[in-house]
Structure 1
Amino acid sequence: MFNEHGAASGNHAPRDQAHFELPPLALYIHIPWCVKKCPYCDFNSHAAGPSLPEEEYVDALLADLDQDLSQVHGRALTSIFFGGGTPSLFSARALGRLLEGVERRVPFAGDIEITLEANPGTFEQAKFRDYRALGINRLSIGVQSFQAAKLKALGRIHDGDEAIRAADMARAAGFDNFNLDLMHGLPDQSIEDALGDLRIAIAQGPTHLSWYQLTVEPNTVFWNQPPLMPEDDILWDIQEAGQALLAEHGYAQYEVSAYAQPGKAARHNLNYWSFGDFLGIGAGAHAKLSRPDGSISRGWKTRLPKDYLDPEKSFSAGERLLGAEELPFEFLMNVLRLTDGVASTLFTQRTGLPLTLLAAAREDAMQRGLMHRDPARLVATREGQLFLNDLLQHFLP
């Protein structure tokens, strides 16, 4: 339970401060504008007007980061992720000024991964060559489907040919590491449709594929006007056949919906899933941050762009400390998404809590076949990953 200030109350296991370590630090930058809002999207995205307030927004992002610098604690950034919205609507000049400003404030690791989300309808060869020259070294391209009817149903602004050209232009601009975002379980989608999309995606030679099932979320057009979705048996068959096809072409599944060629797993997302730290700047951005004393907080920023840009209003919309009784669930909610899980010792390193705290719930989950009986690792079985919510119920506070 929590008091009104977010502090934990009640008894809980003592912290193991001797083995707690500050985790790696990443940065998430949210750019909230899109050409248009898609009917399935529940992200903080807003249709762009005739012009974008690039300069004002970059100024606000850097001022926002200034207020969070006390949370860095001497760490370098291991990754940066530009998410949205559609960050590729911003000019290379604006993103260059932003990256320069960030690096002046927080050092970059020598092998930093910098990812930019982009949609095919916003691709321009010269712009993406300029992005690469800035040090952005990874793209995540939101394809979703290559089929005209499916793209229309999803409200996408591009067609299949544009999606293919986007991958071609990414390579031509010097990006040898890029992800394609692809959905399955689309309205009226057959197994043949889904596998056809996957085959076209694989043919583009991405180093990484995010392949995930469309879910209908509250506060979306699809929630209020649900499309006709495939039946559960078809969804299951799509997933089984798709995973086999990806494995056949050398894409190893390392997370519930992430597949990568050897050595090309997304480092930024791996940091999330291993309960690392991340600063979040931009309208509606979230953060998870640890302090040297072992306390951990989650924070979130003002959501509406007009409010975020208002100098009279605060960037921060809220923050709360996580209570010790919440940490097992918070930690496992992330790491059990990883196909190989994590070393058991990471639990204490990230939370400051003794591993024995998990013993009873872990044993129950193992007896039910949801976790592997491996003392050295915290890892879900295949069934545990398929029914992850059921597995996590064992670790609720």
Structure 2
Amino acid sequence: MTLTSSLIQAPGISQLPPLALYIHIPWCVRKCPYCDFNSHAAGPELPEAAYVAALLTDLDQELAAVQGRVITSIFFGGGTPSLFSADALGRLLRGVEQRIPFASDIEITLEANPGTFEQDKFKAYRQTGINRLSIGVQSFQPAKLQALGRIHNGEEAIRAAGMARAAGFDNFNMDLMHGLPDQSMDDALGDLRQAIELGPTHLSWYQLTVEPNTVFWNQPPELPEDDILWDIQEAGQGLMAANGFGQYEVSAYAQPERAARHNLNYWRFGDFIGIGAGAHGKLTYADGRIVRTWKTRLPKDYLNLAKPFKAGEKQLPEDELPFEFLMNALRLTQGVEAQLFTDRTGLPLARLAQARRLAEQRGLLQVEPDRLVATPRGQLFLNDLLQYFLT
């Protein structure tokens, strides 16, 4: 069953954006020292049934935001969603579809850790309708995996790709990090070559950063110097391009027609409902309001039905919309069509005119009247570019 997006009457916005669903499952086997996501070490038993019930009740409270749309993509993030059984995720997906129609070509992605791979389990995931995996490899090298606190080894990561394909997944991403402690150019490119050999359709390749509220923040590892990081970045991008992986976002590379549709929706300022402990959402309403929401973070509070799921929300004021839109759109290497700014925010393109001229003069934004695209220099200094659009 499919529906078209509802037309709305708000000034400047002719049609609601596409709608996606993000589902957060907050448990991991153990917390990695670099991770600042809302994740918590799992106990001996996961409260699958209670959490699925809570997720569906949470979704029930968001249904007014659907406004006649279908769900174009679903992303199970975490944490490690692959700790949940296929039965639990299947029940959840059936419950979601009973509430909101799925697009006929819906993309449903599950984040998975190589240490959680079991052939029968992943075959069952595929049978539930999950059609894309994102495998958190980070590295294939024992010393690097140990430094990152990962629970898998390189051989398990290699086997995971084969098991994914055998389970029926012909579309999967591999997450890899570079700029790891004591990592050389050969180390970084070796990880990339190994990943490419395994035949993923998508690679997420990003530099390790030390974030507040992590173990690494309090006990910083020794990371490669900037010159080495720059050389790794250039060589890695060249290697992926030579193997058919086109860069379409700051840290995302894909085979033709295999870009992550769920993430593209984020970067193109689409809408998404967020359910689960700590999940965030962004929703456009028929009266033109654009609202960001966030849910309570601690699993025990999320599962306490006496407490609200929603921890807060913020309507984006008009003067913040240019920055909010471009913070996402300019991450795309090809940018976006300029008209999308008006389509998504309801503001006239003229609102950007002065800042665009200044950014173009500084060589940070391409001089393209019909598109909003960062120059290669602008991609490198994206934070500097975005400052022009703060009001």
Q: Do the aligned partners of residues 322 and 19 (structure 1) sit closer, same or farther apart at CA in structure 2, a change above 3 Å counting?
A: closer
Q: Does structure 1 retain, via aligned residues, the 8 Å contact 2:266–2:328?
A: yes
- How far apart, CA to CA, are the structure 1 residues paired with 2:383 and 2:314? 24
Q: Does structure 1 retain, via aligned residues, the 8 Å contact 2:302–2:309?
A: yes
Letter in 1 for 2:197: A
Letter in 1 for 2:164: A
Measured on the aligned residues, the alpha-carbon RMSD in Å equals: 0.8
% identical aligned pairs: 77
2:248 equivalent to 1:254: yes
Q: For 2:318, what is the secondary structure of its paired residue?
A: coil
Which of 347, 362, 365 aligns to 1:371? It is 365
2:76 equivalent to 1:66: no
The equivalent residue for 2:355 is 361
TM-score, normalising length: structure 1: 0.96
Structure with more relative contact order (C-alpha pairs < 8 Å, separation 6 or more): 1
1:115-145 C-alpha deviation (Å, 9 max, x unpaired): 0000000000000000000110000000000
2:104 equivalent to 1:110: yes
The equivalent residue for 2:144 is 150
Q: By how many angstroms is 1:18 displaced?
A: 4.2
- How far apart, CA to CA, are the structure 2 residues paired with 1:18 and 1:137? 36
1:192-244 C-alpha deviation (Å, 9 max, x unpaired): 10000000000000000000000000000000000000000000000000000
1:151-173 C-alpha deviation (Å, 9 max, x unpaired): 00000000000000000000000
Q: For 1:337, what is the secondary structure of its paired residue?
A: coil
2:5 equivalent to 1:24: no
Q: By how many angstroms is 1:20 displaced?
A: 3.8
Q: For 1:114, what is the secondary structure of its paired residue?
A: strand
Query: How do residues 70-85 of structure 1 correspond to structure 2 at under 5 angstroms?
Result: 70-85=64-79
The equivalent residue for 2:127 is 133
- How far apart, CA to CA, are the structure 2 residues paired with 1:106 and 1:259? 31
Q: By how many angstroms is 1:16 displaced?
A: 7.5
- How far apart, CA to CA, are the structure 1 residues paired with 2:375 and 2:87? 47
Alignment length (residue pairs): 383
- How far apart, CA to CA, are the structure 1 residues paired with 2:163 and 2:13? 47
Which ranges in structure 1 are unaligned for 5 or more consecutive residues?
Answer: 1-14
Query: How do residues 146-295 of structure 1 correspond to structure 2 at under 5 angstroms?
Result: 146-295=140-289
Q: For 1:325, what is the secondary structure of its paired residue?
A: helix
Which of 326, 331, 354 aligns to 1:332? It is 326
- How far apart, CA to CA, are the structure 1 residues paired with 2:386 and 2:290? 20
Q: By how many angstroms is 1:34 displaced?
A: 0.2
- How far apart, CA to CA, are the structure 1 residues paired with 2:280 and 2:324? 15
Q: By how many angstroms is 1:292 displaced?
A: 1.3
1:83-114 C-alpha deviation (Å, 9 max, x unpaired): 00000000000000000000000000000000
In the TM superposition, structure 1's runs of 4+ consecutive aligned residues that sit over 2 Å from their partners are: 18-21
Q: Does structure 2 retain, via aligned residues, the 8 Å contact 1:20–1:348?
A: no
- How far apart, CA to CA, are the structure 2 residues paired with 1:30 and 1:324? 29
Q: Does structure 2 retain, via aligned residues, the 8 Å contact 1:16–1:353?
A: no
Q: Does structure 2 retain, via aligned residues, the 8 Å contact 1:16–1:348?
A: no
Q: By how many angstroms is 1:21 displaced?
A: 2.3
